[in-house]
Amino acid sequence: MKKQKVLKRVNSVVSSVLVVLLVSVAVMVVYTKISDGEPEVFGYKLKTVLSGSMEPGIQTGSLIAVKSVAGEERGSFQPGDVITFMEDENKLVTHRITEVRETGSGVIYTTKGDNNDTVDSAPVLAENVVGVYTGFTLPYAGYISSFAQSPEGSAMLLILPGILMFGYSVISIWKTLNELEKSNQKETAEAK
């Protein structure tokens, strides 16, 4: 009897984990698609690190949290702060500020990747800063995020948990039917 209670408890836990996994992955994939690959959690954008310019502090393939900035806040950073900025139209870069200069047209930052030997060739206008690195990093999670944004990844991350859930349900039903059959055979044998 105790064994059955343990099995029921394990069954309940596994079922719950599979449901939570399926719902979580579905929400993540849908949210990533809706937000054009830029998921945001509690006001922080999650960015995938594509190069090793900030290693060892920020590893290639990591997922980092960047707090979005706007307006005057863009001109308020100090040397040592790690900012994310638009290097060109479609390229974001996350580097450390090495120097801050005030000019007639605004604030200009000189930046450098921690793993680079020299400062970046082009200075960063304060208006090009989109966020500040918060120090939160999930190593290698960026690879998963990038994969989830691909059509194949989206399909797999939605279908695989569903297949696991279906398979687990089939096994659970089969076990339950087996137990019922054994119970019925036992009752029939006792009735004779």
Strand positions, DSSP E, the chain: 40-41, 44-48, 63-68, 82-88, 91-103, 106-112, 124-125, 129-138
**pTM summary value:** 0.61
Nearest alpha-carbon partner for 124 in 145, 91, 100: 100
Residue ranges of the domains in the chain? 38-145
Is pLDDT above 90 for 109?
Answer: yes
22-77 pLDDT tens trace: 777 667 666 666 666 566 667 788 788 888 888 888 888 887 888 888 888 777 88
147-179 pLDDT tens trace: 766 778 767 777 777 787 788 788 888 888 888
In the structure encoding, which two tokens stand for residue 42, read together?
């509690």
Instruction: Point out the catalytic residue in the list 24, 35, 51, 154.
Output: 51
Q: Is 51 a catalytic residue?
A: yes
Q: Which fold has domain 38-145?
A: Umud Fragment, subunit A (2.10.109)
Residue 94 and residue 114 in contact, taking contact as beta carbons nearer than 8 Å: no
The secondary structure element, H or E, covering residue 23 is helix 2-34
